[in-house]
Amino acid sequence: MRKSIAQSILVLIIIFGQYSLFAEGAETLEPITITVQKGETLSLISERHLSDPKRWPELLKHNKIPNPDLIKPGLTLVVPVFLRKAVVGVTEFVMGQVEWNGTGGKGPWVPLKLGQELHPNDQIKTSGKGKTDLHINNVGMVRILTNSHFEVKGEDKKGGPVTVALFKGSLDAKVTKSNPPTTEHKFNIVSPSSTAGVRGTEFRVELDERLSSTISCFEGVVDVAAQGKTVELKQGMATFVEKGKSPVQPYKIPEAPRLKEE
């Protein structure tokens, strides 16, 4: 009898442990409540908050709104989990003039807020002395520096690398190392002149006025690709990629700075 009870307890412990591991690895989303602002339309709201903007009728149904014409400033809407965009990250630090656009650059730009969730196709612009630190899920920290234009692309497929785009300016990144180590990239930075793929490292991507890129590796390894050629950057090395050309042979850089959280 005691043996039977002990076996049952052991089975429950194993099941609970497996459930806990699953729960920790799962993406946790909660419903959000939004208030319609002046100038916002149902189309804009759907672009910003829904995983598929064409599902706006489901948003109206969930909120018991019979007519789209009733979407007016001051109205409160609940966006349920099953309609929400995936959360790719969150803002951890905001300084100066930093703007956010949740419609892939198509809608109005608004000030980026501390703690704001980031979704696929969200864009960020910094101007003047503005900069922001972003925590990207399962990746690490990305710092968008002054006078930059950036977009969160997200995962191409479930469990694949997270991709972001740098259209202008520069960024620093501190990508956590995979455990156990892997040869697969977990983070890609696409620019008009190159693509940088990393596993776990600290590095910088800078674009000049001609959109040529300089990629510097402060720690770890960065693979830089353009025009069918890939070069590997190790700690203390950099490469330059002129737009429309292949990366140059890696060269040494001065002692690498350490990225510190603001």
CA distance 213 to 224: 10
The backbone torsions φ and ψ at residue 20, rounded to the nearest 5 degrees and listed phi first, read -65, -40
Domain 32-83 belongs to what architecture? Roll (3.10)
133: left (phi over 0), alpha (psi -120 to 50) or beta: beta
pLDDT at 79 (0 to 100): 94
Residue 18's pLDDT is what? 37
Element (H, E) at 222: strand 221-226
pLDDT of residue 24: 34
* Residue pair 32/49 in contact by the 8 Å Cβ criterion: yes
Judging by DSSP bridges, how do beta strands 195-198 and 187-190 pair with one another? antiparallel
Residue 138 backbone zone (phi > 0: left; psi -120 to 50: alpha; other: beta):
left
What is the reported pTM? Answer: 0.80
Tokens matching residue 139: 């990746």
242 by Cβ neighbours in 10 Å (0-12 / 13-18 / 19+) ranks as middle
Q: Which residue, among 150, 144, 115, has the nearest Cα to 130 in the 3D structure?
A: 144
pLDDT of residue 82: 94
Question: Which own/partner contact pairs does 204-210 have at CB distance under 8 Å and 24+ positions apart?
Answer: 204/170, 204/171, 204/172, 204/173, 205/166, 205/170, 205/171, 205/173, 206/169, 206/170, 207/166, 207/167, 207/168, 207/169, 207/170, 210/242, 210/243
DSSP structure class, residue 243: T
For the four alpha carbons of 126, 101, 174 and 115, in that order, the dihedral sign comes to: positive
Q: In this structure, are residues 221 and 197 in contact, taking their beta carbons and an 8 Å threshold?
A: no
Query: Would you kindly state where each structural domain of the chain is located, as residue ranges?
Result: 32-83, 89-252
Q: State the Rg of the chain over Cα.
A: 22
Q: Which residue has the tokens 């600290």?
A: 202
For residue 95, the model assigns a pLDDT of 97
User: Averaged in consecutive runs of 10 residues, what is the pLDDT profile of the chain (262 residues)?
Assistant: 45 37 48 90 91 94 94 94 92 97 88 94 96 94 97 82 95 84 81 93 96 95 96 95 97 73 64
Residue carrying the six token digits 């459930």: 19
Looking at residue 194, its pLDDT comes to: 97
Nearest residue to 126 (alpha-carbon basis) of 159, 170, 179, 183: 170
Q: What is the CATH number of domain 89-252?
A: 2.60.120.1440
